[in-house]
């Protein structure tokens, strides 16, 4: 019983693998395109040509960063197909501790009226 299950799993993985390779390359290409866009948007010439304000550029850059990071985590680190517990081990400290920590530190060290006042 266990033996056949195991074989089944192997075959299944083998099948998935061809699928996977193509997927990985597609993800890689998307990552390259986003990186190219990131650098382009950050160029002063492009910024002024498109008439983008600094704030919009920062927001765009952060969104693209988020997209890239998500792709790497979901596909390359297999989080999309792997245990939910792994997602918890990663997302909890990142989203609930590290990111808030960085933001709170930035607020605490700013000279913002009402905070430091």
Partner 1 sequence: MSEHATHQRIPRSVATGSFLEQDSRKTAMWAFIGSETLFFGSLLAAYLVYKPRNLALGGPHPHEVLDINFTAVLAAILLASSVTMVLSIAGIRANSQKRFLGWLLATALLGLCFIGGQVIEFATLFNETFQTVTITHPDGTIEKRGVLSHELEHDGLHAIEAAAPAGSQIEVDETKRPITLDTSLFGTTFFVLTGFHGTHVAIGVIWLLSVFVRGLRGGFSPINYVGVEIAGLYWHFVDLVWVVLFTVIYLI
Partner 2 sequence: MATTAVVLPKPATPTTAGWRTWLTTVDHKLIGIQYLVTSIIFFIVGGLEALLIRAQLGAPNNTLVSADLYNQLFTMHGTTMVFLAIMPLNTGLANYIVPLMIGAEDMAFPRLNAFGYWLFLFGGLFLYLSFFLGVAPNGGWFAYAPLNTCADRTLTECVSAGLGRGMDYWGLGLLILGISSLAGAINFIVTIVKMRAPGMTFNRMPLFVWATLVTSFLLLFALPAITVAIIMLMFDRIAGTHFFSSWGLNPQLYGDPLLWQHLFWFFGHPEVYIMILPPFGIISEILPTYSRKPIFGYAFIAYSSVAIGFLGFTVWAHHMFAVGMGPLANAAFATTTMLIGVPTGVKIFNWIATIWRGSVRFTTAMLFAILFIAMFIIGGISGVMLGSPPYDLQLTDTYFVVAHFHYVLFGGAMLGIFAAFYHWFPKMTGRIMSERLGKWHFWITAIGFNLTFLPMHLLGVLGMPRRIYTFDSEMGWNTWNLVQTIGSFLIALGVLIFAWNLLVSLRRGERADANPWDGGTLEWATASPPPPYNFLKHPVIKSRYPVWDMGSKVETTPDDPAEVERALAHLPAPTIYPLILAAGLTVMMIGIIYRGPWLAVTALGLIVSIAGMYGWIRQISILPEEEEEEEEELEEVTH
Q: How far is the CB of 14 from partner 2 (least distance, A)?
A: 23
**Nearer to partner 1 (CB atom), residue 50 or residue 94:** 94
Of 51, 30, 31, 32, give the one whose Cα is nearest residue 41. 51
Radius of gyration for the chain, computed over Cα atoms and rounded to the nearest angstrom: 21
Binder among 50, 56, 81, 98 for partner 1 (CB under 8 A): 98
**Residues 54, 107: Cα–Cα separation, whole Å:** 20
Report the sign of the C-alpha dihedral through residues 99, 100, 104, 105, in that order: negative
**Residues 62, 28: Cα–Cα separation, whole Å:** 19
Site string for partner 1, 25-54 (x = CB under 8 A): x-xx--xx--x--xx-xx------------
48 within 8 A of 56, measured Cβ to Cβ: no
Residue 56 contacts partner 1 per CB under 8 A: no
Q: Which residues bind partner 1 (CB under 8 A)?
A: 6, 10, 13-14, 17-18, 20-21, 24-25, 27-28, 31-32, 35, 38-39, 41-42, 58, 61-62, 64-65, 68-69, 72-73, 75-77, 82-83, 85-86, 89-90, 92-94, 97-99, 101-102, 105-106, 109-110
């Amino acid at each position: 019983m266990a033996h056949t299950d195991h074989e089944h799993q192997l075959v299944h993985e083998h099948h998935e693998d061809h699928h996977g390779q193509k997927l990985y390359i597609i993800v890689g290409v998307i990552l390259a395109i986003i990186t190219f866009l990131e650098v382009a948007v950050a160029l002063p010439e492009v910024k002024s040509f498109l008439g983008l304000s600094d704030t919009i550029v920062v927001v765009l850059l952060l969104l693209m960063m988020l997209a890239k990071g998500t792709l790497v985590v979901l596909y390359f680190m297999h989080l999309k197909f792997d245990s939910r517990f792994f997602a918890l081990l990663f997302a909890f400290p990142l989203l609930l501790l590290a990111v808030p920590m960085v933001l709170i530190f930035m607020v605490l060290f700013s000279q913002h009226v009402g905070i430091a006042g």
